[in-house]
Amino acid sequence: MSSTTRILGIEGTAWAASAALYDSESDDVYIQSDAYEPDSGGIHPREAAEHMHEAIPRVVADVLEHARETADSASEPRVTDGSDRSSSRQRDSPIDAVAFSQGPGLGPCLRIVGTAARTLSQTLSVPLVGVNHMVAHLEIGRHTAEFDSPVCLNASGANAHLLAYRNGRYRVLGETMDTGVGNAIDKFTRHVGWSHPGGPKVEQAATDGEYVDLPYVVKGMDFSFSGIMSAAKQASDDGTPLEDVCFSLQENVFAMLTEVSERALSLTGSDELVLGGGVGQNARLREMLEDMCDQRGADFHAPKPRFLRDNAGMIAVLGAKMYNAGETIALEDSRVDPNYRPDQVPVTWRSAESELVVGRGDDDTEVRGAEALVDLDPTAGRVRKRRVAKTYRHPDLDDRLRRERTTLEARLTSLARRAGVPTPVLSDVDPLEATIELEYVGDADLRDGLTRERVRAVGRHLATLHEAGFVHGDPTTRNVRVSSERTYLIDFGLGYHTDHVEDYAMDLHVFDQSLVGTADDPEPLREAVQAGYREVGRERVLERLRDVEGRGRYVDE
Ligand SMILES: C[C@@H](O)[C@H](NC(=O)OP(=O)(O)OC[C@H]1O[C@@H](n2cnc3c(N)ncnc32)[C@H](O)[C@@H]1O)C(=O)O
Ligand SMILES: Nc1ncnc2c1ncn2[C@@H]1O[C@H](COP(=O)(O)OP(=O)(O)OP(=O)(O)O)[C@@H](O)[C@H]1O
Ligand SMILES: [Fe+2]
């Protein structure tokens, strides 16, 4: 297709009133933005909407003028037989379509963007394209990296999640269980009296800091910031120097994001990672991700800052891909959605060949997991697992995590077997070397041999652990080994003792996300886990699971 596509994009989900022109032939992205800066506190939805009301018309007018000025040099719009997409451009329109952020975001802001987009589309007689803001954060990185099938870490203000493409959708492999990563940092800076946005200030202050211990919470590929944020506020109230708190906050929060990204690469078998979102402007976060990818031989790409923070360029670029796939919407379908999730979007603009092929070779004797190097000796029936140092993590944090997890893995693997769940028998533990030796079990990972029966067994096993008062912590389709007779749970390093229903539900949620991320037809399997769980466990946990799944985490003011 030689014709050029020209899309005008509009963004205004929270703080950035932004418009952009994308020209597919030159690949040029012209962006005009006007930021809302609160006088005090965080983002006030009403004030932000007032800002949009005032600034959106201005940035749109500017970009439209640019589009008119450059229209002559773009391929001449024609009104012909309709066989060529460029022919649909109206004779007097300098663009082919208007793309706008349809959600997620603050309702009052989104509505102003929606109205502006509808008006413009009617004035110019061009179609509308409704863009999911989070998918745009992801696609801009895939576009500028020219990666085929990356895992994407979205680290923005109101969100934090890992996405990977499977079966026509971007699946959420993991996400924050409470606030977005930028909002978490901004809340801390508000507490110490710094103005919004706090991220850049924390980055600045962190340069002179020293490491102090703070909480570190990951659950499979999910994570939570509430504990570390309260601890950081407390530490500063108690007089810990702010630069030390900022430094340690960055070290822990970004190490958590890097760890879950590595786990997603390991689970999907992808060797490409892209970063998206405003927090991606942080140099320390980019450094950690780069380092992690280097260590495991994966490619990392972070778009330029102008494409990381909220901007209409990413809306226009994805708008063009969607427009070319025929994804325009009628006026009556253009309503905005403050809770629009990325996995609700049918991805029609990508070819199916870019699907990841996952699986482990039969003759591999050394496997690199997300955390460990695992030497396999099926003949001798033995496995040696070594948690290697992660150079991206602060050495104090790294030592602590590797030692704790090795000890926990040993203890909980045995405890689970005593409770009646098949697990490998342990032969040696060395916490200082972060090494354990255990029995080789199963013929394949569950990921490579998914059946309803096996998944049902996992449901029963998880319920058995929960009834015994602990969680697995990282139940994925790679942390289950299967043979013709048995289904084993392995890799208990993220497990812990707890009697909270919420923790049990999270354990199930982590497994559920891994099914959605790795199975071709996850629905019957998702039902099978719950059926298995119901045989042994409590209904309350399943009820809580539905609650966890239903939580909207997008807008947090
Ligand atoms: C729904 C949408 O409105 C929302 N947008 C959003 O959060 O804006 P974004 O531009 O992606 O990210 C802003 C966040 O990015 C943080 N930030 C900016 N520069 C930073 C830096 N150098 N280090 C850490 N955080 C930084 C800010 O503190 C703020 O919390 C989202 O994408 O979640
Ligand atoms: N006891 C075992 N018997 C057979 N295979 C095993 C055993 N332990 C590990 N493996 C294999 O090695 C892979 C990685 O092991 P493990 O999950 O323990 O490492 P990890 O680094 O914690 O991985 P991740 O965090 O990605 O789950 C497993 O998916 C499995 O294929
Ligand atoms: Fe954003």
Q: Compute the Cα dihedral for 523, 529, 534, 539 and give only its sign.
A: negative
> Cα separation of 111 and 121, whole Å?
15
Q: Count of CB atoms within 10 A of residue 279's CB?
A: 29
Q: Can you give the pLDDT at residue 90?
A: 57
Domain identity same for 132 and 25: yes
Tens of pLDDT along 516-548?
A: 988 889 999 999 999 999 999 999 999 999 999
Query: Does residue 40 register a pLDDT over 90?
Result: no
Residue 496 lies in a domain: yes
| 428 in the same domain as 335 | no
Is the pLDDT at 402 greater than 50? The verdict is: yes
Q: Within this chain, do residues 282 and 315 fall inside the same structural domain, yes or no?
A: no
Q: How much of the chain exceeds pLDDT 90, in percent?
A: 87
Residue written as tokens 């506020």?
233
Q: What is the CATH number of the domain that holds 132?
A: 3.30.420.40
**Residue 343 falls within a domain, yes or no?**
yes
Q: Which residue has the tokens 């983002």?
A: 43
Residue 256, domain extent: 145-303
Cα 346 from Cα 355, distance rounded (Å): 15
Segment 118-173, tens digit of pLDDT: 999 999 999 999 999 999 999 999 999 989 889 999 999 999 999 999 889 999 99
Q: 402 CB under 6 A from ligand 2?
A: no
Q: What are the residue ranges of helices labelled H in 329-483?
A: 395-419, 452-467
133 labeled binding residue: yes
Residue 2 has pLDDT above 70, yes or no: no
474 is catalytic: yes
pLDDT of 81: 42
Mean predicted confidence (pLDDT) in 78-91: 47
460 falls within a domain: yes
Q: Is there a single domain that holds both residue 438 and residue 539?
A: yes
Residue 96 lies in a domain: yes
Q: Are residues 438 and 533 in the same domain?
A: yes
Residue 304 CB partners (closer than 8 Å, separation 6+): 144
Q: Which residue of the set 474, 507, 512, 556 is catalytic?
A: 474
What pTM value is reported for the model?
0.94
Instruction: Calculate the CA 370 to chain-centre distance.
Output: 16
Using a CB cutoff of 8 Å and minimum separation of 24, what contacts does 409-415 make? Answer: 409/436, 409/491, 409/492, 409/493, 409/495, 410/436, 412/470, 412/472, 412/492, 412/495, 413/438, 413/490, 413/492, 415/468, 415/470
Q: Which ligand 2 atom sits nearest the alpha carbon of residue 445?
A: 31
C-alpha separations of 483 from 260, 344, 450, 530 in Å:
28, 35, 11, 21
Distance (Å) of CA 309 to CA 13, 27, 28, 138, 278: 12, 19, 18, 12, 4
Residue 11: predicted pLDDT:
98
Average pLDDT of the residues in 370-389: 96
Q: Which residues lie below 8 Å from residue 335, measured CB to CB, with a gap of 6+?
A: 102, 114
Residue 300 CA neighbour count, 13 Å, CB half: 21
**Phi, psi (deg, nearest 5) at residue 436:** -130, 155
- Residue 554 DSSP SS3: coil
Res 167: pLDDT: 86
Q: Is the model's pLDDT at 224 over the cut of 50? A: yes
Nearest Cα residue to 229 out of 209, 214, 239: 214
Residue 479, classed as helix, strand or coil, is coil
Q: What is the DSSP letter of 289?
A: H
Whether 434 is in the pocket of ligand 2, judged by its Cβ within 6 Å, is no
Q: How far is the CA of 14 from the centre of ligand 1 (A)?
A: 10
Angle at 470 between CA 164 and CA 218, to 5 degrees: 35
Q: Which residue's CA lies nearest to atom 19 of ligand 2?
A: 369
Rounded Cα–Cα distance for residues 252 and 223 (Å) = 12
- Candidates 185, 189, 554: which one to mutate for ligand 1, based on the most atoms within 8 Å of Cβ? 185
User: Rounded mean pLDDT of 211-231?
Assistant: 96
Residue 468 and residue 523 in one domain? yes
Number of structural domains in the chain: 3
Query: How many of the other CB atoms lie within 10 Å of CB of 193?
Result: 6
Per-residue pLDDT band for 424 (boundaries 50, 70, 90) equals very high
**To the nearest whole number, what is the mean pLDDT of the chain?**
93
pLDDT (0 to 100) of residue 197: 95
Structural contact between residues 91 and 76, judged by C-beta atoms closer than 8 angstroms:
no
> Is residue 554 over pLDDT 50?
no
Q: Which atom of ligand 1 is nearest to the CA of 277?
A: 11
CATH assignment at residue 370: 1.10.510.10
Question: Which tens digit of pLDDT belongs to each residue from 292-308?
Answer: 999 999 999 999 999 99
Query: Is residue 313 located within the same domain as residue 252?
Result: no
- The answer on 326 and 230 residing in a single domain is no
- Name residue, tokens 């070594």: 386
Establish whether 157 is an annotated binding residue.
Answer: yes
User: What's the pLDDT at 82?
Assistant: 43
- 78 domain-assigned: yes
Three-class SS of residue 29? strand
CA-to-CA distance for 472 and 484, rounded, in angstroms? 23
> Is 362's pLDDT higher than 70?
no
Residue 356 above 90 pLDDT? Answer: no
- Report which of 19, 131, 128, 26 is spatially closest to residue 65, judged by C-alpha positions: 19
pLDDT of 128-143, one tens digit each? 999 999 999 999 999 9
Q: Is 118 part of any domain?
A: yes
Give the model's confidence band at 74: pLDDT under 50 very low, under 70 low, under 90 confident, else very high: low
Give whole-number Cα distances, 501 to 125, 469, 493, 504, in Å.
54, 10, 20, 5
End of a domain among 351, 377, 408? Answer: 351
Query: How far apart, in whole angstroms, are the C-alpha atoms of residue 132 and residue 138?
Result: 10
* 229 has pLDDT over 50: yes
Q: What is the pLDDT of residues 463-521, one digit of tens each?
A: 999 999 999 999 999 999 999 999 999 999 999 999 999 999 999 999 999 999 888 89
Q: Are 139 and 536 in contact (CB under 8 A)?
A: no
434 alpha carbon, closest ligand: 2
Q: Is residue 360, in this structure, part of any structural domain at all?
A: no
Same domain (yes/no): 281, 228: yes
Indicate whether 179 and 44 sit together in one domain. no
* Same domain (yes/no): 82, 55: yes
Q: Are residues 276 and 160 in the same domain?
A: yes
Please count the other Cβ atoms lying within 10 Å of the Cβ belonging to residue 503.
18
Q: Answer yes or no: is 375 a known binding residue.
A: no
Does residue 220 have its Cβ closer than 6 Å to ligand 2? no
Q: Which two tokens stand for residue 387?
A: 């948690």
Question: From atom 20 of ligand 2, which residue's Cα is the shortest distance away?
Answer: 369
Is the pLDDT at 87 greater than 50? The verdict is no
Q: Which two tokens stand for residue 236?
A: 């500063």
Closest ligand to C-alpha of residue 103 is 1
For the Cβ of 438 lying below 6 angstroms from any atom of ligand 2, the answer is yes
